[in-house]
Amino acid sequence: MRSSKIKSPVRKTDSAGAGTASTAKPSPSVPRETVGGQRAVIAALFLGTVLLFARTLGNEFVNYDDPDYVTANEHVRQGLTWAGLKWAFFSTEISNWHPLTWVSHMADWQLYGDRPAGHHATSVFWHALTAVMTFAALRRLTGAFWTSAACAALFAWHPLRVESVAWVAERKDVLSGFFWMTALWAYAGYAEKRREGHRGVREYVLALGAFAGGLMSKPMLVTLPCVLLLLDFWPLRRGAAAADAIGNIRMWGKLVGEKIPFFALSVASSSITVVAQAKSGAISTVLSLDERLANAACAVVRYGAKFLMPIDLAVLYPHPGHWPVQQVGFAVVCIAGASAVAAGQWQRRPWLLFGWLWFLGTLVPVSGLVQVGVQSMADRYTYLPMLGVQIALLWTWRDTAGPVAWRRAAWVALVLLTACVARTFGQIGVWKNSLTLFDQAIAVTEKNYVAHDNRGLYLYKAGRIDEAMQDYRAALAINPGYLNANNNLGHAFYELGRPAEAIPLYRMALKSQPTHLEVRNNLANALTDVGQLAEATEHYDYVLARQPNHSNALNGSAVLLAMQNHPAEAKTRLEQALRLDPDNASAHANLGNVCSMLGQREDALGHYRRAIELNPQDAHTHYIIGALLNELGKSTEAAELLQRSLSLRPNHPDTLAQLGLALVRSGRRDEGLRAWRAALQVQPGHAQAAAWLKGATEEK
């Protein structure tokens, strides 16, 4: 095995290399590996990757997983703190244990806050480092300089990488990828030391440490010990055939034995992950084993197709539940055929079997045999597995073409990489924001209820309420029991002042997950608004019993207590809610109401003002402040706030009535009379407006 350390200014490159099957001598036309050439390749990989993915810096956060991982995660938003670090290492939130990923997000928030460009830049940086380490590891393992460079470039610039890099929540991919390739590089050094008769303790510890770092970034790396055994087969050839079967068994027994610490880490990580996913309810039990096996087979073929023709990529490929028999049969035949070819060539072209088993083996944790989530496959799952396919193809191409055809192969590689770069650049634009992302998903997939729901969520926050509700309904037409769409449509009705229509949607959402605290809290809010206080109390109590510091439940239950004429207790809960969430506009407004009930008008006014600072679009609170200012005799200021309320909520009769009073008291009698008349036009029976108008008319 060649040493990774360059011992002379010039060395042969892409000739056989230690551990390869070819014995061809290099042609004079093949560029020789030099120190400068090595540095040039590393610079090209790193800078090329950074430049290509720099487009992500103009992208926003998306509403799919980014809130859970970053933008709405209270632990991450505190930055790097001792409490946050403790949480990162002892939490299994999001159904996984990946403390280094959490620390990475915390560090980003410490540096960049809520500015997405910085978060994207970190992901690009780690992906570029992974590209460099991919080249370094493959070159050290195989000695094939230019083939390793081409493989690393294809890995880094292929369109399938976009999801892992452009999605902030997928930081775990690029982080774990770096540790994976570092572990392979270190293991190659360990094998070199062993071949030279040394123990290689330092290299072994580095490989084991990198593996531990990878597992703490993403548990999917549990298959690395098996890949190390594949490396022993090829290209390291540490498992070269012994004289007899007993010798072979002993030899491979030793190779397996030295991986025991690696397997121990895999077992520990797998156990933590399974427990975390089972506890959170992330593991689906809806699909039968036959359906999961069928999907796994189909996914293998579909991944291959996406690699060869990376079009119609989507953030989510919905699981169909049941695949047609013909499609499953075709997939099984393809897998069996590829396996037969790889196995049949194991002596002449061992990299075929190596690459194929790398691909299949590393996909096992995300194959859907244990179904987590609603996807049938995912582009991000190819981040490391597809390297196996690349190795099988590129080393076969290298072996077939030979050094004489190097120039032709170089031009072909350049054309293919250019096509990948162009396609990748376009795919990065798909991740511009949640609208572009889910527009694409809806366009290229079928029955994608998750995409409809998430696009609806984006449209709702953009103020396009009708379009959002259409998307929520489209999601429910595909999957009537989908929790998120039921909850989001219910919330839309609730915010439109139609709680009675929200209640059945919240109840439907709870059918799919009765323990969901946010939905229970939303249902309690709606029940409070329609006067079903007893049931609302049950739901608030359920939430607070399991999460005593749930600020929204404290806020909502305080409103209920105030309605039951318990303002002092309501005030206590609202103050607790604001200690937990000082910028909760609703809690400030509700505390203002409670202070008014207690006769604490100045305190009420302060909380009302804070509420509209936090939520300037809150028409009702503007109205409440205006009415309170009228009571305090501050008519001019009251008129300003009431006019602002009317700009947000035109023709509201109560607001018009209060505006009329403020205008008359501030000397603008004619404008005030017009406001009262307008209130009566909207609501002819409005008693207060009629009384004030009659009094002003008689007074004249």
The rounded average pLDDT for each run of 10 residues, N- to C-terminus, in the chain (700 residues) is 35 41 42 83 98 98 96 94 95 88 98 98 98 98 95 98 98 98 98 94 98 97 97 91 75 94 96 80 73 94 97 95 94 97 95 98 88 84 98 93 73 93 98 98 97 97 95 97 97 93 98 94 96 96 95 95 95 95 93 93 92 91 92 92 92 93 93 93 91 80
The token duo for 496 is 């439109």
Instruction: List the domain range (segments joined by +) for residue 465.
Output: 447-545
663 half-sphere exposure, CB direction, 13 A CA radius: 20
Together in a domain, 375 and 488: no
Residue type, 306: K
Together in a domain, 128 and 233: yes
Together in a domain, 259 and 150: yes
Question: What are the distances in angstroms from CA 443 to CA 252, 480, 639?
Answer: 50, 21, 50
663-698: burial string, b at 16+ Cβ within 10 Å, e else: bbbbebeeebbebbebbbeebeebeebbebbeebee
Domain boundary among 360, 395, 430: 430
- Residue 442 in domain: no
- Residue 693 in domain: no
pLDDT score for 280: 66
The token duo for 248 is 């072979």
Together in a domain, 403 and 378: yes
Closest CA to 46 of 118, 176, 171, 149: 149
Together in a domain, 369 and 500: no
- Residue 520 in domain: yes
Together in a domain, 303 and 232: yes
Question: What are the distances in angstroms from CA 360 to CA 274, 354, 365?
Answer: 21, 10, 10
Number of domains in the chain: 2
Together in a domain, 502 and 426: no
Together in a domain, 479 and 407: no
CA 181, chain centre distance (Å): 23
Closest CA to 148 of 307, 252, 20: 20
86 CB-near residues (< 8 Å, 6+ apart):
none
pLDDT score for 195: 92
Complete DSSP assignment for 571-616: HHHHHHHHHH-TT-HHHHHHHHHHHHHTT-HHHHHHHHHHHHHH-T
- Residue 149 in domain: yes
CA distance 530 to 275: 41
- Residue 580 in domain: no
C-beta of residue 363 within 8 angstroms of C-beta of residue 127: no
Together in a domain, 177 and 255: yes
User: CATH number for the domain including 530?
Assistant: 1.25.40.10
Together in a domain, 420 and 453: no
pLDDT score for 379: 97
CA distance 79 to 320: 40
Domain boundary among 545, 577, 605: 545
Three-state DSSP at 375 gives: strand
- Residue 56 in domain: yes
- Residue 568 in domain: no
Domain boundary among 545, 571, 591: 545
pTM of the model: 0.87
Together in a domain, 316 and 456: no
What's 372's DSSP letter? B
- Residue 48 in domain: yes
CA distance 294 to 203: 41
Together in a domain, 112 and 208: yes
pLDDT score for 8: 30
Is the C-alpha dihedral spanning 57, 58, 64, 66 positive or negative? positive
CA distance 167 to 173: 10
